[in-house]
Amino acid sequence: MSEKDKMLVGEIYDANNDRQLIAERTAAKDKCAAYNSVTPSDMQRRREIMSGILGKAKGEFLIEQPFYCDYGYNIEVGENFYANHGLTILDGNKVRFGDNVFIGPHCGFYTAGHPLDAESRNAGLEYAKPITVGNNVWFGGNVCVLPGVTIGDNAVIGAGSVVNRDIPPFTVAAGNPCKVIKKLQK
């Protein structure tokens, strides 16, 4: 099994010594640099470049500059997706956003994690677990979503939250660690 295959199924893999993964990350970072250098008013060019970064985009979307990712091809955005400035997605595994998702400034979605034992971590080994975000979800600014998290439809995640576990639909959740603080009416 290749290092990329291991990455995509959530197993421990070596991202730092695999030529294919290094080349794919470098290509994605070059595309992000191109995107981030386009004049903000040139919406057509921004959309063209971003469409070449994302794995899948359904309908209309807007991602403000700057934007950063590891691979791009593991990112899927739904209809009417909006992300404010400073979005970072470490997409070693799938990151799926539903329709009508709004993301505040300086948020991060991190599928990548590292082993707890220092020897493996120092050897550059890591894992990647998917992140799934439902429809009609709103993230306040400076939210951090960690590997393997699912956020249900119609959830609201408060600013500054660190989401390290699943958040059910129709809830407001906030904090570090993020937890449900209010249920919303369906």
CATH at 64:
2.160.10.10
pTM: 0.96
Band (pLDDT 50/70/90 cuts) for residue 153 is very high
- Above pLDDT 70, what percent of the chain? 100
Mean pLDDT for the chain?
Answer: 97
Give the per-residue pLDDT at 72. Answer: 98
**pLDDT confidence of residue 15:** 92
pLDDT at site 154: 98
Would the pLDDT of 160 be above 90?
yes
Extract the tokens encoding 4. Answer: 């990329």
Catalytic residue among 114, 129, 168, 179: 114
Active site residue 106: no
Is residue 186 pLDDT above 90, yes or no?
no
What number is the average pLDDT over the span 93-97?
Answer: 98
pLDDT in tens, 49-93: 999 999 999 999 999 999 999 999 999 999 999 999 999 999 999
For residue 65, the model assigns a pLDDT of 98
Q: What is the mean pLDDT of residues 130-151?
A: 98
Structural domain containing residue 23? 3-183
The whole-number pLDDT of residue 144 equals 98
Rounded CA separation 69/90 (Å): 5
Q: What is the 3-state secondary structure (H, E, C) of the chain?
A: CCHHHHHHCCCCEECCCCHHHHHHHHHHHHHHHHHHHCCCCCHHHHHHHHHHHCCEECCCEEECCCEEECCCCCEEECCCEEECCCEEEECCCCEEECCCCEECCCCEEECEECCCCHHHHHCCEEEECCEEECCCCEECCCCEECCCCEECCCCEECCCCEECCCECCCEEEECCCCEEEEECCC
Total domains in the fold of the chain: 1
Q: What is the mean pLDDT of residues 92-105?
A: 98
